[in-house]
Amino acid sequence: MTSYEESPGSLDTGRQEFHGAETTLQNLVLDSQDIVDFLTELAVIASSRLSTPGYPVHAGVTVLRHKRPEAVASSDAQAKALDELQNGFGDGPCLTALRIKRPLLVSDLTGEQRWPYAKAAKANGVASILAVPLDLAGEAEAVLNLYSGRTHGFSADDISTVEGFASQASASLRLVLRITQLSEARNDLSSALESRTVIDMAIGAIMAENRCSRDTAFSILTKASSTRNVKLREVAASVIASISGEKQINTFFDE
Please indicate, yes or no, if residue 64 is contained in any of the structural domains: yes
Confidence bin at 199 (pLDDT 50/70/90): confident
3-state helix, strand, coil in the chain (%, to 5): 55, 15, 30
Both 111 and 199 in one domain: the answer is no
- Average pLDDT (52-74) is 86
Q: How many domains does the chain have?
A: 2
> Would you state the pLDDT for residue 12?
43
Q: What is the mean pLDDT of the chain?
A: 81
> Would you state the pLDDT for residue 239?
84
Residue (of 89, 81, 32) closest to 60 by Cα position: 81
Can you spell out the DSSP letters for 117-159? Answer: HHHHHHHTT--EEEEEEE--TTS-EEEEEEEESSTT-S-HHHH
Separation CA 121–CA 75 (nearest Å) = 17
pLDDT above 90 (res 250): no
Residue (of 212, 207, 195, 201) closest to 241 by Cα position: 201
Q: Residue 63 sits in a domain of what CATH number?
A: 3.30.450.80
Tell me the residue type at 200.
D
Both 87 and 162 in one domain: the answer is yes
Please indicate, yes or no, if residue 85 is contained in any of the structural domains: yes
Domain that holds residue 40: 21-182
Separation CA 63–CA 181 (nearest Å) = 14
Both 165 and 204 in one domain: the answer is no
- Distances from the Cα of 152 to the Cαs of 149, 171, 179, 206, 237, in angstroms? 9, 29, 38, 74, 63
* pLDDT tens-digit series, residues 229-248: 888 888 888 888 887 665 55
Please indicate, yes or no, if residue 187 is contained in any of the structural domains: no
Q: Indicate the pTM of the whole model.
A: 0.65
The residue that leads in pLDDT, 252 or 224, is 224
* pLDDT tens-digit series, residues 81-138: 999 999 899 899 999 999 999 999 999 999 899 999 999 999 999 999 999 999 888 7
Please indicate, yes or no, if residue 111 is contained in any of the structural domains: yes
Highest mean pLDDT among 29-43, 55-69, 184-198 belongs to 55-69
Separation CA 95–CA 81 (nearest Å) = 15
Both 158 and 53 in one domain: the answer is yes
